[in-house]
Each structure stands twice: as C-alpha cells, then as structure tokens.
Copies of this chain bind each other. A is one copy, B any other.
C-alpha cells in the first residue's frame, strides 16, 4: 500500500479541479473563467491549458471526478445501513454539502445552465441522475420488501425519482433562501411520507 492519496501533496491538476468545481458550484459553467481559477489558486491562466486544453475538457473532468467521488462516498456511508437508514444518510450527504460548504449538487448546477454546458457533460449528468435513481430505487424496493416502507401504489422507481428530484430541488430552494430549514423540511417530508404507517 502506497498511501499515495494520503501522503502526496495535491498536484497542480488536482488543485485546478478543486477550484474549478468550486466555481462551477457557485457560478455555473459559463460563470467562471480560466483567470478566475488561476487567481484563486495562485498560478497563471495559461498553465491550466497545459492540463486541460479547453474549458470543455476542464468541465468534463470536474464532472467525471464528482460523479465517481459522490458514488464512492455514498456507497461507503450507506454500506452497513438498512434500506430506510440508507435513504436518510443519502439525504444527509446533500445536506452536508449545503450546510458546510454552501454548495449545491454539481450536476444540478451544470444542467441548470443547460444548453451552455459543454459536450459530454449532459451525458455525464444523465448517467449520474440515472445511476442515483437506480440506487435509490433499489433501496425503496428493499425497504418495501422488508415492510419498512409503505409506498401504496407508487412504484419504487417512481418513488426514487421523486426522492432524488425532491432533494435536488430542495438544494436549489434552500441555497437561494439561505434557510437550511427549507431543505430539512422538504427532506423530512420526503423521508416521512412513506414511513407514515410503520408496521
């Protein structure tokens, strides 16, 4: 074991990605420039072109890393949890991003800038959305099978789409209002609805 990810200082490439992600989550893809990133991390703009020839390349790299990281964090955080507990932890992951860093889901931000996002990013966003909805649908399915959730006539996959869309929307609303309670109330309702009739 090399401990590379623990010991090695952040490479220039990683620092660029960190800063670019930060800017995209704050101002969107069209709302930041190479100069912004360069100034933020103390290098010159053309240096970024060495790592990411075009802005689209940078956008795609940020999106790719974010998707992989979110998936890893989610799977690790929910590994030992029951289906219903996993849903709570999942909502908590979004809440922490909002509460600790004032940041909204990267793909929510990227897709709200819709037709302005570079080629490849929309496909990555769809993949991210689909993978998360698949994952959530599996949890709803397990919860229902274990009689931990009463979805009534709502298919688990539809509940998953509702849950995911609800969290994405709640992040946008709460980020605008600057009231974390707006997120908590919506997430609480999302989690409280189907456990209304505990068995």
Contacts and interface: CB of A to CB of B under 8 A. Distances in A.
Interface of A: 26-28, 30-31, 104, 107-109, 111-116, 122, 125-126, 129-130, 150-155, 157-159, 161-162, 164-170, 172-173, 175-177, 182, 185-186, 188-190, 192-194, 196-197
A171 B113 CA distance: 13
Contact of A162 (B27, B111, B190): B190
A165 B159 contact: no
A104 B114 contact: yes
Contact of A152 (B27, B31, B170, B196): B196
Contact of A165 (B31, B114, B122, B186): B186
A121 to B, nearest CB: 10
A174 to B, nearest CB: 8
A197 B153 CA distance: 10
A168 B164 CA distance: 11
A151 to B, nearest CB: 8
A167 B165 CA distance: 7
A198 B107 CA distance: 37
Contacts of A162: 166, 170, 185-186, 189-190, 193
Contacts of A112: 28, 104, 108-109, 112-113, 172
Contacts of A177: 126, 129-130
A173 B161 contact: yes
Contacts of A164: 169, 173, 186
Given A169-B165, A169-B169, A154 B27 contact: no
A28 B173 CA distance: 16
A56 to B, nearest CB: 15
Contact of A30 (B28, B108, B109, B169): B28
Contact of A193 (B130, B152, B157): B152
